[in-house]
Chains A and B, each alone.
Chain A
Amino acid sequence: MEPLSNLLTGLHIALQPLNFLCCFIGVFLGTLLGVLPGIGPLAGIALLLPLTYGITPTAAIILLAGVYYGCQYGGSTTSILVNVPGEVSSIVTCLDGHQMAKQGRAGPALGIAAFGSFIAGTLSVIGLMLVSVPIAKITIKFGPPEFFSVMVLGIVMLTSISRGSTTKGLVMATVGFMLSFIGIDLVSGRERLTFESTHLLSGIELAPLTIGLFGVSEVLINMEESVAVTVVQLKEKIKGYLPTLKDWRLSLGPILRGTILGFITGTIPGGGAILASFASYAVEKRLSKYPGKFGTGVIEGVAGPESANNSATSGAFIPLLTMGIPSNVIMALLLGALMIHGVRPGPLFLVEHKDIFWGVVGSMYIGNIMLLILNLPLIPLWVQLLRVPNRFLLPLILLLCIVGSYSVNNNILDVLVMALAGLAGYALRKLDYELAPLCLAFVLGPIMESSFRQSLIMSDGSFLIFVTRPISAVILSLTTIVLVLSCSRMKISEFKLDS
């Protein structure tokens, strides 16, 4: 009963005029930033931070948190409509979401993304409310060996994301790993593959890479056809703007599974929304009766990942609010924002600043409702965007890509990265290579490598550390089971083909 009374207090705080207004501004800006490729919550929060100095800590955090989870709502819009991920966590949404748009089903895709995000957002806030402290205790136990094991699990799942040839998927993953090695190595401090360039010292930024690979290549591919044509070859008329009952029936499972998966992945420091969305896609594909159809416009491929990336944002708050440990850069900024206001998150946060914690939780409920109300009526509007001829739409997309790439670090060389990635992405797509495994490997690679070496430092070189530590052992066993199952499935299908 205690959480319930705390929640009511929280809602009461969240409904105060200033807090309510901040919530609205936050989620509104967040959605906008999410739609724009490349420009993400980090840029928004960093820009808004100075404006929060004059208001109360509660209002400030409500505002900034709203920007964060609002972004996850908006990210799916461009992914579905024009195959350009608005957020790196929406890359997977491009796979099936855009195919659905091509079949005239952009409305249902956008709708299920919005509803899924809402359900996931709301349920994960309940999770935040009820299980923060126990989960936080588990998260603390996650050290380098556990991170490594999680990454291995991620790599195994990666192979199941590829639609076509597994070999090509693995080649792309290898390229992704190699690109991720560029920069200063964490464990030795030495430069690798930087060719003495200052820009490459910090490695290649993820956002310009994905914007180039997906966005610019999409523009280039569309330029091949006559520019008088619209982006989406609408063979049939636009079929309705909302998900049908059948869509709902198919999506409910993925949404709920995505919520749980995303929540857990979000709590792991270094995990986050991108891992959550990839993992959800892989899980849905594996559990589906028709895995071969994933990538051709299957609604589960949109519902699951979009829910997962939203609940990951709630999960990400847990280490911050319960222990004062930020699980990603955005949380670090929020931590800074709290500290500027004289509030120190940590184990004592729930006791000393109960009102702020519950006020934020309350505002998340309200924020999710606001986001649904904001996003749903816009769906018909967004869908009409598909009717805009290429000659207007493509330059606009390209402009947004350039601005988005620059805005990551205020560095023009990131735009160069985007351009090169765009050309590469175009070539790869023509040659039928998939880009999603490359991106996932690029993200997982550094964490996997540095966790591996940190673990070996901890164990003085013994590989047994990965199996002697209980959590790591459990994760590795799970990975082995998944691997064996997928191999046996392949063997069975080959057997069936032969006989």
Chain B
Amino acid sequence: MEINKNTMCIIAGVFFFIFCAAGTLSAKEVAFPEKEIRFLCGYSPGSVSDLNARSIARIASKYLEKPLVVVNMPGAGATIAANELVRSSADGYTIITLTTGYFAYTIHQQKVPFDPSLLKPLLGYWQYSHVLFTRGDSPYSKIQDLIAYGQKNPRAIKYGIPGRGTGPHLMGILFFKNANVEAVDLPFKGSADNAHGVIGGHATVGVDDFAPVKHHIKAGALKALMAFLDQRHKDIPDVPTSKELGYGDLGSLNAYGIICIHKDTPPDRAKKLHDVLKKVIEDPEFMKTCDEFGQRCGYIDTKAMDENISMLEKTNMPILKELKLLVK
């Protein structure tokens, strides 16, 4: 039978359509992500959260077909970035790095312009390890000396913090209260200024996460008197923990660094993001980078995050109220 030109075209066209349909069918399963994913960071470049987010982004290139790009939108304690996430379309192409502290105390200190329940924590990847430190050549070699001095001289100890209403501030308040020491907080603008203030002896001691002060401690410019942890930190094995010294519950008040997505993200995309990020967190290269930063890293699931948030909220709300920083 002779196949004329028209018939050939029709047959070719049909095959073409079948081919396209098949293509889109299978494409739907591997389509996400088709373009880069924005990884919002509500903290300034160079900060602890920013560096950890960049580590994730760098190693994610091993597991994700498209790049994860860190976009800094600092301001209002990360609310500006969080607002951006909530306003963007819930298609899984925007994720954000925050902390459990954001939900536990930051949003209670300001009038947040969006509904916080639209932010869904996906998984956690690092945890704060707060430490109390003093300058390298300080006369206090043990925390007990500091406490004794503080009890005898009320308001003589000035402890530096990277900002009011932050995790380190609240940790400092709780510690000194439990130690029966009347100490005064000296707020600095960020961790770098805080470290500088203590190194120069302008503040007696300081409280902050271990990562920003690790290299100062290693170099001897600062020395850690106490770690607010349940177990000794492997980078500072000689420094006693809050648990050993009898301040049992302080170690669990370290917030987690977490990644959040929009609540309305399609479940299959949310699951893919979760699984890929989990692989990144458990990648040996990521763990090595965190080790170098002095950051405790690891996968943290939803249940642990929720527990952390409610515990931090419960402990810190009364303090915030006392400090008159509570808005709602």
Q: Which residues of A contact B (CB under 8 A)?
A: 42, 45-46, 49-50, 53, 140-144, 186-191, 196, 198-199, 201-202, 269-270, 319, 323-326, 329, 332-336, 339-340, 342, 344-348, 409-411, 450, 454, 457-458, 460
**B74-A409 in contact (CB<8A):** yes
Which residues of chain B from 65 to 121 have any CB-CB distance to chain A below 8 Å in the complex?
A: 69-77, 79-80, 83, 109-113
Neighbouring A residues of B77 by C-beta, 8 Å: 201
Residue of B nearest to A337 (CB): B46
Known: A140-B200, A143-B200. 19 other contacts (CB 8 A): A49-B45, A50-B57, A144-B202, A186-B189, A187-B164, A187-B187, A189-B325, A190-B325, A198-B112, A199-B75, A329-B44, A332-B190, A334-B46, A339-B215, A339-B292, A340-B54, A340-B58, A346-B218, A454-B187
- In Å, the complex CA distance between A188 and B192 comes to 19
Interface size on B, residues (CB 8 A): 61
- In Å, the complex CA distance between A204 and B289 comes to 35
- In Å, the complex CA distance between A43 and B192 comes to 20
Neighbouring B residues of A411 by C-beta, 8 Å: 73, 75, 80
Can you show 20 pairs from A to B with CB atoms below 8 A apart?
A: A50-B69, A50-B70, A186-B187, A189-B109, A190-B325, A324-B216, A329-B44, A329-B45, A332-B45, A336-B45, A339-B51, A339-B293, A346-B219, A410-B73, A411-B75, A411-B80, A457-B158, A457-B184, A457-B186, A458-B203
- In Å, the complex CA distance between A187 and B158 comes to 13
Which residues of chain B from 13 to 45 have any CB-CB distance to chain A below 8 Å in the complex?
A: 44-45
Residue of A nearest to B186 (CB): A457
Neighbouring A residues of B75 by C-beta, 8 Å: 199, 201-202, 409, 411
Neighbouring A residues of B73 by C-beta, 8 Å: 409-411
Residue of A nearest to B185 (CB): A457
Which residues of chain B from 140 to 160 have any CB-CB distance to chain A below 8 Å in the complex?
A: 155, 158
The answer to the question of B163 belonging to the interface, with a C-beta cut-off of 8 Å to chain A, is: yes
The answer to the question of B240 belonging to the interface, with a C-beta cut-off of 8 Å to chain A, is: no
Neighbouring B residues of A457 by C-beta, 8 Å: 158, 184, 186
The answer to the question of B208 belonging to the interface, with a C-beta cut-off of 8 Å to chain A, is: no
- In Å, the complex CA distance between A198 and B83 comes to 9
**Interface digits, B235-258 against A, CB 8 Å rule (1 contact, 0 not)?**
000000000000000000000000
**Interface digits, B312-328 against A, CB 8 Å rule (1 contact, 0 not)?**
00000000000111000
Neighbouring A residues of B175 by C-beta, 8 Å: none
**A269-B196 in contact (CB<8A):** yes
Neighbouring B residues of A347 by C-beta, 8 Å: 219-221
Assuming the contacts A186-B187, A340-B55, A454-B188, asked whether A346 and B216 have C-beta atoms less than 8 A apart, the reply is: yes
**B163-A186 in contact (CB<8A):** yes
**A329 nearest CB across to chain B (Å):** 6
**B186-A42 in contact (CB<8A):** no
Residue of B nearest to A457 (CB): B186
Which residues of chain B from 175 to 212 have any CB-CB distance to chain A below 8 Å in the complex?
A: 184, 186-190, 192-193, 195-197, 199-203
